[in-house]
Amino acid sequence: MARRPALPASLEPLSPAEDAAWRALARAVLVIPRVLDADLLQKEGLNVTEYNVLMNLSEAPERSLRMRELANYVSITMSGLTRVVERLERQGLVERVRAAADGRGQVTVLTPDGLKRLQKAWPVHLASVRRNVIDHLQGVDLEALTTALTEVASIELGPPVRRAKNT
């Protein structure tokens, strides 16, 4: 029997190893998106969100997806996605078509221009991912990492919270 039965495990401070890992991860989690974003933006004029949208469309059947699905893949809100798709549409990389099956729905289609643009950006982004991330994962067991991170990534978000106005 434990001597401190009432103390939930989560209140134990992190072990030194855990603490070190968490500090590194916390920082990496801030740095990775920033670096990749800056890199891709500078070299290809696309941010990572836009890239991911094009990417997911290119992998989808008919090179097209409903907004809802696309939002899930890219892990952003529908409202966010609306704006992203607007930007891409303005550049002619993507087209919006009312869904035949459901008059409310929009189907977003990757245009030939969009595909070209993606094909041009792809190696650049790949190189960036390699250089900035993958190349550093030498000592790490990728399979174990993948399982772990997949679990983490599948966490549900609670209901949204807005900050109180002042005080």
User: Which residues in this chain contact DNA in the complex, by CB under 7 A?
Assistant: 38, 47, 49, 66-68, 76-85, 87, 96, 99, 102-107, 157, 160, 162-163, 165
Contact string 27-46 vs a second copy (x = CB under 8 A): xxxxxxxxx--xx-xx--x-
Q: What are phi and psi of 160, to 5 degrees?
A: -65, 150
Contact string 115-154 vs a second copy (x = CB under 8 A): --------x--xx-xxxxxx-xxxxxxxxxxxxxxxxxx-
Give the burial class of 60: count Cβ atoms within 10 A of its Cβ; 0-12 exposed, 13-18 middle, 19 or more buried. middle
Of a second copy, DNA, none, which one sits near residue 67, judging by CB under 5 to 8 A according to partner kind?
Answer: DNA
The DSSP element (H or E) to which 96 belongs, if any, is: strand 94-98
Q: Which is nearer to DNA, 37 or 58 (CB)?
A: 37
Q: How far is the CB of 50 from a second copy (least distance, A)?
A: 10
Of a second copy, DNA, none, which one sits near residue 20, judging by CB under 5 to 8 A according to partner kind?
Answer: a second copy
Which residues, in sequence order, are bridge partners of residue 107?
Answer: 66, 97
Cβ–Cβ under 8 Å, residues 120 and 32? no
Q: Which is nearer to DNA, 7 or 30 (CB)?
A: 30
H-type alpha helices, 12-141: 16-44, 48-59, 67-74, 78-90, 112-132
Q: Which residue has the tokens 């041009």?
A: 120
